[in-house]
Amino acid sequence: MRMRKTALAVFVATLAIPALAPAQQISEQRIINGLGKLQGAAPIVDVELLRQEAMNGSGKQMSGLPNWSKVARLPQMVVEIAFANDSVAIEPESYRTLGMIADALHHPNLWAYKFLVVGHTSSTGSDEHNLDLSQQRAEAIKEILSTTFAVDASRLYAVGVGEYFPIEGSKSEAANNRRVQLYNLGVFTKQP
Amino acid sequence: MPRGWRLIGAAAIVIAWTCAAKADTISYADAVTVLAKDCGADIKKLCKGLNLGNNRIADCLAQNAGKVSPTCTSTLASVAASIQKREQAQASYSKVCAGDMARRCNGVKGDGYILACLIKTTKHVGAQCNQAISDAGWR
């Protein structure tokens, strides 16, 4: 009986804070559920403006910035991807996570949507370097999803925010370095 | 037929069906997990700094064919094949299941809900459509 209670408590906790759950718990199903809960129409988001805001918004909360605050309300998922130190190269240990994201994006529940990949870095190194590195990391993920895993590239947007938006629950340098966020940007309309 | 036997029979059918479905295609996640397991050491040694995208890892391993472990070489080929197979299965779904969608899920809106409807009515859905859903990895 006690075991069942504990299991229930864990289950309820998982429901309450999906974004902060440890990355090893991610599965294709969780990505589909986490990213699929789009209520109503998503706002129009300009990725270039997001980049500018991230660059100029050092030290501010995401929710205090006009464009990022719109993004912050969208369904999102945090995944951990192991990059080689100070590099865009992803360690083979994280291939599975990338494959799971690809499986989820190919599922009918999500295939009508477009997604924003947000790359982060640790705070070691200069701001400018970190911003570049995080941008390249987000783009590397977009490239992998759209080539190796055949997700339509026009469904994917990549933006790097360097060290600017630390997220609660992943305070260590190592965790920040691995953090990648995915946001559901709403219905994808194919360009003519 | 006694109830116990019927249950065992039903279970056997379910197991056989699940195995058959699983043997056909594997997920992207499973495919690259095998790649990481069998080629991870070679990738770290020979393809440092390279990513999966644009075939860079596959090209790098091919260029270093002489130094790559035999297990990795054969895994690489099978991973590429299984990724392709999964892609084909997913691409065929809308066409293969069009008739079943019209018959069983008429009026259902949204691709996710249509799929859920087809899965719910599996017993009445055609064998080809059921196979396409299994091969696409959506059960």
The CATH number covering residue A29 comes to 3.30.1330.60
Is the pLDDT at B100 greater than 50, yes or no?
yes
- Per residue in A136-186, pLDDT (tens digit) is 999 999 999 999 999 999 999 999 988 877 665 555 556 566 789 999 999
pLDDT at A152: 95
pLDDT at residue number B117: 97
Are B72 and B116 part of one and the same domain?
A: no
Select from B25, B26, B27, B28 the residue whose CB has the most chain A CBs within 10 Å, as the one to mutate to test that interface: B28
Mind listing the pLDDT tens digit for each residue in B76-90?
A: 888 888 888 899 989
> What is the edge-to-edge ordering of all strands in the sheet holding A179-187?
A76-80, A179-187, A113-119, A156-160
B47 and B28 both lie in a single domain: yes
**Which residue from B minimizes the CA distance to A103?**
B28
- Residue B114: inside a domain, yes or no? yes
* Number of domains composing chain B: 2
Number of alpha carbons in the 13 Å side-chain half-sphere of residue A133: 25
Question: Do B27 and B62 belong to one domain?
Answer: yes
How many structural domains is chain A composed of?
Answer: 1
User: Residue A179's pLDDT is what?
Assistant: 85
Question: Which structural domain, as residue segments, surrounds residue A116?
Answer: 21-187
A8, part of any domain: no
Residue B52 lies in a domain: yes
pLDDT (0 to 100) of residue A191: 58
pLDDT above 70 covers a percentage of chain B that reads 83
Which residue among A36, A89, A99 places its CB closest to the CB of B28? Answer: A99
Residue B2 lies in a domain: no
Q: 3-state DSSP call for residue B129?
A: helix
Does A6 fall in a domain? no
**Are B80 and B116 contained in the same domain?**
no
Residue B4 located in a structural domain:
no
Same domain? For B74 and B36 the reply is yes
Measured between beta carbons, the chain B residues lying within 8 angstroms of A92 are 35-36, 39-40, 43-44
Q: Do A96 and B50 touch (CB under 8 A)?
A: no
Task: Evaluate whether residue B7 is within a structural domain.
Answer: no
CB contact under 8 A, A99 and B137: no
Containing structural domain, residue B123: 97-139
pTM of the shown model: 0.82
Within 10 A of B29 (CB to CB), how many other CB atoms are there? 21
Closest-CA distance, A109 to chain B, in angstroms, reads 4
Residue pLDDT, tens place only, B45-73: 999 999 999 999 999 999 999 999 999 99
Same-domain check for residues B30 and B66: yes
Residue A72 CB partners (closer than 8 Å, separation 6+): A62, A63
Residues B80 and B109 in one domain: no
Q: Are B104 and B124 in contact (CB under 8 A)?
A: yes
Enclosing H/E stretch for A184: strand A179-187
- On whether residue B83 sits in a domain, the answer given is yes
Q: Is residue B107 part of a domain?
A: yes
Indicate if B101 and B82 belong to the same structural domain.
no
B53 to A96: CB separation less than 8 angstroms, yes or no: no
